[in-house]
Amino acid sequence: MERISQKENSSGEEKTQQESKTSSSFPEIMNLEIASSQLAAHFASLLLLRERRDDALEVAMMGLRIARSSGDIFSEACLRKIIGVVLLKLRRGEKARKHLGKALILFSKLRSSHGRASCFLILGHVNLQGLKYNGAETCFVNAREAYHDANHLPAEVVAARWSATVAGKLPRGGKERRRSRLIEARRLQGMLNRQKSKRKFVMRWQGSLLTLSLEWPTISTTTGRRYS
């Protein structure tokens, strides 16, 4: 009887271990899908920086399919943003606008001011490429405000300067708006210069559009502003 009970106990333990392995395999699969989609986002960014635009688009689209199948909306938002940048570089503005619009919605759901800001910045250049100056100005202003919420002062300087540049192209009131935007951009640049001793910023750090647009966005549940 004791041998029988021991066999039953051992078989029960084996079943429990098998069940635990089976149940734990599902989150591992999900994590693998998430890791794969995020890896695709980083690899696509690298390919884009090397000017391999078609390859970057192919990798990003593959990552997007993985992200959507796993329900990973953060990776989906990042990949759609990257796809938007690639399409902008390929001068396919309307398709870029669709992906960036969806990325903007997802970053808003995630409460990522940083992600929203980079989408607005790229959308501004999509509009600029299509000579839609009013839309471009609105996007750059929105980008500046979102970068402010994300506490990203160097990027805020860039967005403020682009809004000033585009304002000068507007037929009505463009000069006045350009002047006020330049004053604001210089004020922000002055703040950035004063932070040099406290933070590791280069004196006149501006960054390129590509560098800013490919930054990995942060997610925050608050919009606390560290400067004004």
The pLDDT confidence band at residue 170, using thresholds 50, 70 and 90, is confident
In this predicted structure, the answer to whether residue 113 has a pLDDT above a threshold of 60 is yes
In this predicted structure, the answer to whether residue 121 has a pLDDT above a threshold of 90 is yes
Q: What is the pLDDT of residue 189?
A: 85
Rounded Cα–Cα distance for residues 128 and 121 (Å) = 11
- For the segment 74-112, what is each residue's pLDDT rounded down to a tens digit? 999 999 999 999 999 999 999 999 999 999 999 999 999
Instruction: Give me 218's structure tokens.
Output: 């942060």
Rounded Cα–Cα distance for residues 70 and 29 (Å) = 9
Superfamily of chain region 24-110: Tetratricopeptide repeat domain (1.25.40.10)
- For the segment 140-165, what is each residue's pLDDT rounded down to a tens digit? 999 999 999 999 988 999 999 999 99
Query: Residue 223: how many CA atoms within 13 Å on its side-chain side?
Result: 14
In this predicted structure, the answer to whether residue 201 has a pLDDT above a threshold of 60 is no
Q: What is the pLDDT of residue 105?
A: 97
Q: What is the pLDDT of residue 147?
A: 94
In this predicted structure, the answer to whether residue 225 has a pLDDT above a threshold of 50 is no
Q: What is the pLDDT of residue 215?
A: 85
Mean local confidence (pLDDT), 117-137: 95
Percent of the chain with pLDDT over 70: 77
Our CA angle for 198, 199, 205, nearest 5°, is 130
In the DSSP assignment, the letter for residue 196 is G
The pLDDT confidence band at residue 197, using thresholds 50, 70 and 90, is low
Q: What is the pLDDT of residue 198?
A: 59
Residue-range domain boundaries for the chain: 24-110, 112-220
**Which of 59-63, 175-179, 198-202, 218-222 is predicted most confidently?**
59-63
In the DSSP assignment, the letter for residue 195 is G
In this predicted structure, the answer to whether residue 203 has a pLDDT above a threshold of 50 is no
Rounded Cα–Cα distance for residues 144 and 161 (Å) = 9
Listed residue (158, 152, 120, 119) closest to 226, CA to CA? 152
In this predicted structure, the answer to whether residue 2 has a pLDDT above a threshold of 80 is no
Q: What is the pLDDT of residue 12?
A: 52
- For the segment 19-64, what is each residue's pLDDT rounded down to a tens digit? 444 444 434 445 888 889 999 999 999 999 899 999 999 999 999 9
